[in-house]
Amino acid sequence: MTDADRNIEKNTVERVVGSSPRRTVIQLIIASIIVGAIFSVLDLGALEFWRGIFDTLTSLIRSIGDSFGEIAVNLITYLIIGAAIVIPVWLIMRLIRGR
C-alpha cells in the first residue's frame, strides 16, 4: 500500500467518523451512558421512547385524513421498522469497516 493509498484511507475514515475512530467510539460510549442514565431516571426504555415517537407520528398522520393517512401510516410504519434494523447495522458496519 502506497502513502497515497494510506492518506486516502485515512481521509475516508475521518470523513465517515468525524475524527479518529477511537475517539468517536469513546464519544459514543460516553453519550450512551449519559442517555441511558437519563432514561433510567425517567424510568423510560428505548422501546417506549421509539413507540412514543411512532405513536405521535401516527396520530399526526391520521389527523390529516383517513385514506391518505392509512397509506402514509403504512409507509411510515415500514420505514420505521426497516430503519430500526438497517440504520444501527449500517452504523456498526461503518464503524467496523471505517468507510
Q: pLDDT of 39-54, one tens digit each?
A: 889 998 888 888 998 9
How distant, in Å, are the alpha carbons of 58, 70, 81 from that of 64?
10, 10, 22
Banded model confidence at residue 22, pLDDT cuts 50, 70, 90: confident
Residues 98 and 24 sit within 8 Å (Cβ to Cβ): no
Residues 6 and 98 sit within 8 Å (Cβ to Cβ): no
Query: Do 38 and 49 fall into the same domain?
Result: no
Residue 20's H or E segment, with its range, is none
SS3 (DSSP) at 99: coil
What is the distance between the terminal CA atoms of the chain, rounded to a whole angstrom?
17
Query: Do 39 and 49 fall into the same domain?
Result: no
Banded model confidence at residue 5, pLDDT cuts 50, 70, 90: low
pTM beyond 0.95, yes or no: no
pLDDT for residue 92 is more than 70: yes
Residue 23's H or E segment, with its range, is helix 21-41
pLDDT for 74: 85
The residue range of the domain holding 97 is 45-99
Query: Do 26 and 74 fall into the same domain?
Result: no
Query: Do 92 and 50 fall into the same domain?
Result: yes
Residue 19's H or E segment, with its range, is none
In the predicted model, what is the mean pLDDT of the chain? 80
